[in-house]
Structure 1
Amino acid sequence: LKQIGLALHNYHDSHRTFPPGAVWYGVGVAPENGRDALWGTTWVVQVLPFMDQGPLYNNYNMSLPARSANSNTGSSVLRAIIPSLKCPSQTKVDRSRLTQDHDGFSRITYAAAVGSGSALTRSDHNNTRRGMFSAVGQYGAKIRDVEDGTSNTIMLGEIVVGTATSDDKGAWGWCTGSLFAGRNSNGILTPNAQVYDRTPYASNNTSDNDFNRRNNPDDTNAGSGQAARSSHVGGVHFTMADGAVRFISENVDQTTYLNLLSIGDGNVIGEF
């Protein structure tokens, strides 16, 4: 997490902004639909050159969406395994096949924060629930946007991927795979939440319905979102917007946690 945070700050130094959570390749506003065929590059792809992955980045075809030659052959960029993006404590972090067997998206165990709302809800992005990144808003914050203070704002966190190959959690080249949220249509997603995750390609695999692998039927639209989760006892590691890594208890006050996910809600942060 520390290395990824540093890479993101180096990206910001170069571009004067953090990368967008994801980019939609269509015309007009991005849809509140996590299965749209025109979803393209993600924040992970954009930051690859700053993680010593320049050759991988150069092989990504920016003129094509993610579900294309970028993912559907054995040598596709989005099938690449990036060891630094996987927590050693997690196992069975393999590929997510999404809609077809040849969609071989590699998965990781870290994700970027979309804020205290859900992952694809445009109205959440456009109010005080806004976080550091957004897919539907095609947004990455600037440091000056973080009005609540960079030490009080979550930028990155751990996630736990599903064991089923149909599951999209952790698919770093897909629009919602490498993003986590404060809410979904089931409720509020505190660290290691007992609330079920809802993602565009959730597997609904009963073997994943345990403490760290909460799953539910697909939620392709605005109400989707996965929680920050870990295989560690008691909580989850996060990178704050200033680059510091913090371990936050799964028993953190719910309001405090949601405030930490928002970049400009103006609320006073309690102990965490």
Structure 2
Amino acid sequence: MRASATRRGFTLIELLVVIAIIAVLIALLLPAVQAAREAARRSNCVNNLKQLALASMNYHDVNNVFPTQIGSPATTPTPAAGYGPGSPSDTRVSWLMQILPQMEQMPLYNAYNFSWASTTDSVWNSPRNTTVLFTKVSTFICPSYAGDATQIQKGDYVGLAAPLNGAISITNYKGNLGDNNTLYSSPAGFANNFGDPAAGTTQPTARGMFWRGTMAVGMAAAVDGTSNTLLAGDAMPLDRSFLIAPFTSWADSNQAVAVTSIPINWKYTPANISVTTPDSSYSFRSNHSGGVNFAFADGSVHFIKESISPVTFRALSTRAGGEIISSDSF
């Protein structure tokens, strides 16, 4: 009887070599896969900002101004000046809230009580508006952001009674307040952190496209050119462990803007920030490697590197600063 042929299996060394080869291939492919995923997230971020820019421009078509940052939607501006008044009431309604109808979010917009105001709460933190305030709007969240999509709201202004407690939905995108200095820190910029009008005047000092004031900017006010003026950009919240309350509610006017007096992706440490440090709440930052996506007032979206000159960055945020900015400088 003929003996069967002996079958030879893999030796341990051969198996280890194969495993090592597979491990090397995975190590080589993983960065490429991660880079492809981030490229997709960054592309989706661009789409979000494009939607916000187009919605703002559609709002402008109806109202002749971009949204105001306080009060009800703005009315027709003075043609020569390019500005328009908003409501005189301090309801702190953000520009993001006001463009909801242009984003096909009319049911959410209609659910918001714009008229409520009292000595104990305002519309932005009223329990009467919790349905809207607790609603997450996906367009306001950058795909590269992996943190919490809510914040525990805390009262922050004198005159308001007990704060609204709850998980307020946040935004990763903030409007361009301008190059205003945040007062609590040292970066160069225009004085007056929120851009409120100086005593005895009606013109806000903020030089961007949005500010905490009862007036609104029309395209005619962007004399530097809408293609050279920032509208909004990535503004990721800092690590929650650094702050008691991240200032990132999408519905509140004070929490939906940022400034360019703080460099892009400015690095912080727990030692130099606190809940009262506006740097931690009003800076443009992202999880995209090397910079931040920005929508411009003409509706275009560009990636601005964190290595941009601080002078150029601040110049891009002013609507009428008179700066000459070449396209290859950002």
**TM-score (normalised: structure 2):** 0.64
Runs of 4 or more consecutive aligned structure 1 residues displaced over 6 Å after TM superposition: none
174 and 168 in structure 1: CA distance in 2 versus 1, 3 angstrom threshold: farther
How many angstroms apart in 2 are the aligned matches of 1:216 and 1:158?
21
For residue 23 of structure 1, report the CA deviation from its aligned partner. 3.1
1:140, distance to aligned residue in structure 2 (A): 2.7
Q: 2:104 aligns with which of 32, 52, 60?
A: 52
TM-score (ref. length: structure 1): 0.77
Offset at residue 157 of structure 1 (A): 0.3
1:261 correspondence with 2:261: no
> Cα distance 1:244–1:44, how it changes in 2: closer, same or farther (>3 A)?
same
SS at match of 2:124: coil
Larger of the two Rg values belongs to structure: 2
User: Among 287, 291, 316, which residue is 1:235 paired with?
Assistant: 291
- CA distance in structure 2 between the aligned counterparts of 1:63 and 1:168, rounded to whole angstroms: 26
Matched, 1:134 2:196: no
Whether the 8 Å CA contact 1:93–1:163 is kept in 2: the answer is no
The percent of aligned pairs where both chains have the same amino acid is 30
SS of 2:254 mapped into structure 1: coil
CA distance in 1 between partners of 2:244 and 2:151 (Å): 6
Hey, what does 1:202 align to over in structure 2?
none
1: CA distance, partners of 2:322 / 2:285 = 26
The residue identity in structure 1 corresponding to 2:170 is R
Which residue in 2 is equivalent to 1:246? 302
Whole-Å separation in 2 of the counterparts to 1:70 and 1:178: 21
Write the distance in 2 (CA, Å) between the matches of 1:262 and 1:216: 28
Letter in 2 for 1:98: Q
Instruction: Name the residue aligned to 2:63.
Output: 15
1:96 pairs with 2:166: no
CA contact (8 A) 1:21 1:179 kept: no
Q: Name the counterpart of 1:199.
A: none
**Residue 170 (1) aligns with residue 170 (2):** no
Greater share of helix residues, 1 or 2?
2
Shift of 1:142: 0.3
- How many equivalent pairs are there? 232
CA distance in 2, matches of 1:215, 1:94: 22
Q: CA RMSD in A?
A: 2.5
Aligned to 1:79, which of 119, 124, 134?
A: 134
Q: Is the 8 A contact 2:246 2:281 kept in 1?
A: no
- Give the 3 Å change call, closer, same or farther, for CA 181–96 of structure 1 in structure 2: same
Q: 1:108 aligns with which of 157, 171, 176?
A: 171
* 1:29 corresponding residue in structure 2: none
Distance in 1 separating the partners of 2:297 and 2:127:
34
1:225 Cα offset (Å) = 5.6
Structure 2 vs 1, CA of residues 252 and 239 (structure 1 numbering), >3 Å: closer, same or farther? same
- 1:105 and 1:171 in contact (8 A); partners too: yes
Q: CA deviation at 1:111?
A: 0.7
Distance 1:107 1:174 in 2: 10
**Unaligned runs of at least 5 residues, structure 2:** 1-48, 73-89, 117-122, 155-162, 182-192
Is contact 2:176–2:259 with CA below 8 Å preserved after alignment? yes
Structure 1 position 170, deviation (Å): 2.2
The answer on whether the counterparts of 2:245 and 2:275 sit within 8 Å (CA) in structure 1 is no
- TM-aligned CA deviation for residue 43 of structure 1: 0.6
Does 1 or 2 have the higher relative contact order (CA < 8 Å, sep 6+)?
A: 1
* Change in CA separation of 1:224 and 1:231 when aligned onto 2, cut-off 3 Å: closer
Alpha-carbon distance in structure 2 between the residues aligned to 1:217 and 1:143: 35
